[in-house]
Amino acid sequence: MKQKIIMKLLTGMAGLGMVLGVATAYATPEQDKQDLIKFYASKFPNVKLEDYVYGALALDPDSKAQYDAIMEFPPFDSQVEAGRKMWETPFKNGKTYADCLPNGGKQIAGNYPMFDEAKGKVVTLEDVVNDCRVANGEAPFKISDPKTIGLLGSYMRTLSDGMIMNIKVQGPKAVAAYEDGKRTFFSRRGQLNFACASCHVQNAGNHLRSELISPVVGQAVHWPVFRGGDTLVTLQNRYTGCFKQVRAVPPAEDSAAMNNLEYFHSAMSNGLPMKASVFRK
């Protein structure tokens, strides 16, 4: 049974439109997510679905206990506070981010990335922040800068803590972007010939050196993270690091390839609650 699920993931989810080699059909994002959940339920029968928001910590009670202790007095509170000050500081025209973001920026992060029909592409929450800045006469942030948009995001995403991830893939162009992100996730690359799925599907729960590898379900709900205490890492920063670790040239952050990958990746956490700015080793 487990082998059949793996084969389904490696074929249908690779964008080939095949289900166990029997029928040709488009696998919806919900079907893709359910296939992953079934696979992990077989591999980790004692892990509850809601605990996947903790990543690899859900597989190691000792590490989870350490995480809980650290999160009582997070060592990165000052950075989140700096993000709050950026969020509340008015632009030169007197307006703020809350004035131009949906719902004042609250309970929206779980909707992103989303496919913007007017632009004909996937946009991330960081793109929306930069659009807000430009609309108010400010220069856009460099998308990968942890000291500006990273810090701002560390606070802004806390305004959506507890929101259920709700990535929508509707319409042919959105589906094409989702499928492109799925292909990126399952395509091998680099000198090591690894795909994202090589670690986070087939080898989830195994050790890579001293670290447990996390499952893909639940991964997208908790970014940005603070690694080792106070080093801020955004989700696309992490993608860049993974590409480099397998000795592949990473696409530029905020490129179509990266945004489509985040689109697919985030959809695999649909239905789980957001929890931003957390500690990771």
3-class secondary structure for 77-129?
A: HHHHHHHHHHHHCCCCCCCCHHHHCHHHHCCCHHHCCEEECCCCEEECHHHHH
Residue 95 has pLDDT above 70, yes or no: yes
Section 131-151 average pLDDT: 95
Q: What is the mean pLDDT of the chain?
A: 91
Task: State the Cα–Cα distance between residues 264 and 122, nearest whole angstrom.
Answer: 10
Predicted local confidence at residue 24, as pLDDT = 35
Could you tell me the CATH superfamily of domain 77-160? Cytochrome c-like domain (1.10.760.10)
Strand order in the sheet with 278-280: 231-233, 225-227, 278-280
Nearest 10 degrees: Cα torsion 232, 275, 122, 108: -120
- Residue-wise pLDDT for 15-69, tens only, equals 333 322 233 356 899 999 999 999 999 999 999 999 999 999 999 999 999 999 9
CATH class for the domain made up of 27-73+168-280: mainly alpha
CA angle at residue 150 from 79 to 203, to 5 degrees?
A: 105
Section 241-260 average pLDDT: 97
Confirm whether 27-73+168-280 and 77-160 share one CATH topology.
yes
Q: Which amino acid is at 121?
A: K
Domain boundaries, the chain: 27-73+168-280, 77-160
Predicted TM-score (pTM) above 0.95: no
- Residue-wise pLDDT for 199-217, tens only, equals 999 999 999 888 899 999 9
In which band, very low, low, confident or very high, does the pLDDT at 184 lie, cut at 50, 70 and 90?
A: very high
Nearest 10 degrees: Cα torsion 16, 22, 26, 28: -110
Predicted local confidence at residue 213, as pLDDT = 95
Predicted local confidence at residue 9, as pLDDT = 41
Residue 246 has pLDDT above 70, yes or no: yes
196 assigned to active site? no
**229 or 265: whose pLDDT is higher?**
265
**145 or 8: whose pLDDT is higher?**
145
Predicted local confidence at residue 35, as pLDDT = 97
Section 61-83 average pLDDT: 95
Residue 4 has pLDDT above 80, yes or no: no
Residue 13 has pLDDT above 80, yes or no: no
